[in-house]
Chains A and B, each alone.
Chain A
Amino acid sequence: MDTTDFLDLFTTEAREHIEAQGTLLSRGLATGLEREEINELFRRAHSIKGMAAAMGFSPMAVLAHAMEDLLHRWRDGRDRPATDSLALLTRANDHLSAQLDAVAAKRDLPPGEDIAEAIRALCPATPGVPPAAGAAATAPEAGPAGAAATDDLRPRLLIDVAIRSGAPLPGARAMVILKRLEEHGRIVEISPAAPILATGAFNGRLRIVVASNLAPDRLASFIGGLPDVAACEVAQGPPEPAGGTEARRAEAISSVRVSTERMDHLLDGVGELILDYERLKRSVDPEPGSEQEEILEVLGRTVDGLRDEVLTMRLLPFSSIVPRLERSARDLAGRLGKSVDLEVRGTEVTLDRSTLEEMFDPLQHILRNSIDHGLEETEERRAAGKPPRGRIEIELSRQEDRISLVVSDDGRGIDPQALRRVAAERRFLSREAAMRLSDEEALMLVTIPGFSTATRTTEISGRGVGMDVVRMRVQKLGGNLVIRSRVGVGTRLEMDLPPTVTVTRAFLCRASGGIFAVPVSAVHGMLEVVRDSVQASLGERVLRRGEDLVTVLPLGGILSGDTAAPFPAAFPALLYHVGTRSYALGVDEILGEAPIVVKPLRHPLELLPQYAGAAILNDGQIALILDPANLTRTSRPA
């Protein structure tokens, strides 16, 4: 068999199993394991073993097999999970993950025979105990469905239903089938579990065990006659043991997979649809109360529903990358011999999957910096009166229409004065300019490419490795990064990100005869600038707004390269922040807010950092999308 076609599917599924095992094992170490959690671990190890064996990755199969054996003993109650054996399984699971990385990188798999052997040592052969005895003892705990069903003496029928592919709302369809079945019997078991049906994660295959007096063929023709049922098979029970259907359930959920590329195509299509709809609405301009107005209204709602559906489909909980983060933190802390507690909050908050993927590397960088450079050695912490174990917190939360991501540690912090000094010594800035930087601005120096390499040779902790990458990635996603730190107390990185991407709302404005789009998520407000209220300060034109100083940037002037051109008497401006500074982007006219579809720029326009992409407007015109943060940089040659 040529297995290359299955490699992607294998790595995705195996990754899912390994991560889920990692989560369960850490929970096990913290609070112990419930029976169902042991079952789940067993099933997952079993799946990994089978998949790896089928793909010919025997070191993975061998290791997963050993894990499965030990979990089998726990499941049967022959042994109980102890801290050291849980730790051993955690090590084994981390090793599986490393093996999977090697698979993905097409490298040779690191063997894991020593770990497998250590696990096997915990599983002495016990021929005296027939496995059935253990299984029988657990039967009464099969769960409420099983218990309730024992009262019902009607024959069990096992029903497999396939819903027509492409049928609308397959989960709701499955729900209809279940309700209709209740007219003819009592439902004993459903796979996947009923709550899955409402989530959109249902793949169209339903297995039901029902207690009913109806003949199997009559039941089959009843279900087969319902709308959108592609096939239905009904067999006499008894159903297979619960373990089997559980495994199938896990399979049913995890097999709903669409490549990100196809999701992107879908989103592109929806984006175009939204624009076409807006164009149609404007060109038709229907009479109030007319049929056309009705049609447009309905169409609008359908389009909105479709957009919401597609955007929701792309959302994944933060928890989906947490196990990988935890593992990499654990690995590094172990290698450096540091004791680190990582606490992650807000794991239930959902983000667009591409945002999540894009943020994984930066988060890993940040963790690495904290563990390697931020957190002190145990002795140094003791001397400073801190708890001996270092602490890192990641907190994700939703703030109105933004996502806030904060990573903080209780390490030694960064000294802004030292950064100013290095910036001046290494000629990143003139001495005067460096000393004029506020503490927060000085901290942002670590995000300048090449700055970290300069600092590494100094007494400052070498934090900043890859911080330029972090900042760029956050900005690329339409976000913003702020660094706060107190020497001796710790460092805090605050990022805010838009929850979804690609279809976005933007302010359209006119400047120098062209139309430009500025993402709404980047704009904090609008204001009218009166020329007489603008003052000159340090070569910039600024406006006082309450406590804040706002730097006024004329968009037309920036585009033409004449940033000192005189202002008109009054003009509208978009207010935005970069780091801790505020800017007002002056334009000729603000045309309003509209949904735009972001298109990546083609070469050579992509080389211009002030543009984030292009947008196709309702009337077919193209507008360049401004990236305010980069615009600010290009306008102030430092």
Chain B
Amino acid sequence: MTPIRVLIVDDAMFMRSMIKDILNNASGRYEVVGEASNGREAIARFRELNPELVTMDIVMPQLDGIEATREILKVDPAAVIVMCSAMGQEALVVESISAGAKDFIVKPFTTDRVLQVLAKVLPGASGGSAAR
């Protein structure tokens, strides 16, 4: 099975490494194809790499994750974006979901949690689409 190509967006290198580590150890299901440390960079990397999945931090310098999500969805309305939020950001997460993000994970993450949420957002995943 071809691995799912992922772009990781987070301003903290630590968080990026952590997500990357989780994805790299998921039996070859995911391939991290790129990273970005702010919203502006995320849009550029998305255009360039056209990943199947984006993990997006919300609070970032230059351009926040919600704006970046809106911009990316303008580029590709079918983009699958999962927000990464800290505790206490419920309103921001709700706004992101309204903007078109597919789901969210809350920091601090656990491996199981990340993989569970990502598995559910991709088209064709079990439970991901009952209609098709």
Contact = CB atoms under 8 A, between A and B. Distances in A.
Question: Which of A176, A222, A301, A309 has the most C-beta atoms of chain B within 10 angstroms of its own C-beta?
Answer: A176
A227 B115 CA distance: 11
A298 B14 contact: yes
Interface stretch (A165-173, A406-414, A551-559): A165-173
B127 A226 contact: yes
A175 B130 contact: no
Given A172-B93, A298-B12, A308 B88 contact: yes
Nearest to B16: A294
Interface string B99-132: 0001110111000010011001000001111110
Interface string B78-103: 00000001111111011101100011
Contact of B14 (A172, A222, A294): A294
A218 B129 CA distance: 10
A176 B85 contact: no
Given A169-B106, A214-B131, A175 B98 contact: yes
A197 B97 CA distance: 12
Contacts of A171: 90, 94
Contacts of A200: 90-91
Interface in A163-213: 168-169, 171-172, 175-176, 179, 183-184, 197-200
Given A214-B130, A225-B126, A309 B94 contact: no
B49 interface: no
Contact of B106 (A168, A218, A294): A168
A368 B130 CA distance: 64
A179 B103 CA distance: 9
Nearest to A295: B14
B127 A225 contact: yes
B19 to A, nearest CB: 12
A218 B88 CA distance: 34
A48 B98 CA distance: 37
Given A184-B130, A302-B107, A306-B87, A225 B120 contact: yes
Contacts of A222: 127, 129-130
Given A168-B87, A169-B93, A302-B107, A294 B13 contact: yes
A24 interface: no
A309 B86 CA distance: 11
A305 interface: yes
A291 interface: yes
Contacts of B129: 183, 222
A113 interface: no
Contacts of B22: none
Nearest to A218: B130
B14 A169 contact: no
Given A169-B85, A298-B14, A305-B87, A175 B97 contact: yes
Contacts of B4: none
Contact of B131 (A169, A183, A225, A312): A183
Contacts of B90: 169, 171-172, 198, 200
Question: Which of B90, B95, B126, B127 has the most C-beta atoms of chain A within 10 angstroms of its own C-beta?
Answer: B90
A168 B88 CA distance: 9
A297 interface: yes
B87 A309 contact: yes
B107 A298 contact: yes
B32 interface: no
B15 interface: yes
Contacts of B108: 302
B63 to A, nearest CB: 18
A305 B88 contact: yes
A291 B13 CA distance: 9
Interface string A214-227: 10001101101111
Nearest to A174: B94
A309 B89 CA distance: 8
A214 B132 CA distance: 11
B88 A306 contact: yes
Interface in A294-326: 294-295, 297-298, 301-302, 305-306, 308-309, 312
A200 B126 CA distance: 30
Contacts of B87: 168, 302, 305-306, 309
A291 B14 contact: yes
Contacts of B116: 227
A221 B93 CA distance: 25
Interface in A260-316: 291, 294-295, 297-298, 301-302, 305-306, 308-309, 312
Nearest to B119: A227
Contacts of B102: 176, 179
Contacts of B128: 225
Contact of A198 (B14, B91, B104, B126): B91
Contact of B86 (A199, A226, A302): A302
Contacts of A219: 130
A226 B108 CA distance: 20
Given A175-B97, A175-B98, A222-B130, A169 B120 contact: no
Nearest to B108: A302
Contacts of B113: 227
A297 B57 CA distance: 15
Given A184-B131, A198-B94, A222-B129, 8 more contacts: A168-B87, A172-B94, A172-B97, A197-B94, A214-B130, A294-B13, A305-B86, A308-B88
9 contacts: A171-B90, A172-B97, A198-B90, A221-B130, A224-B127, A225-B126, A297-B14, A298-B14, A298-B107
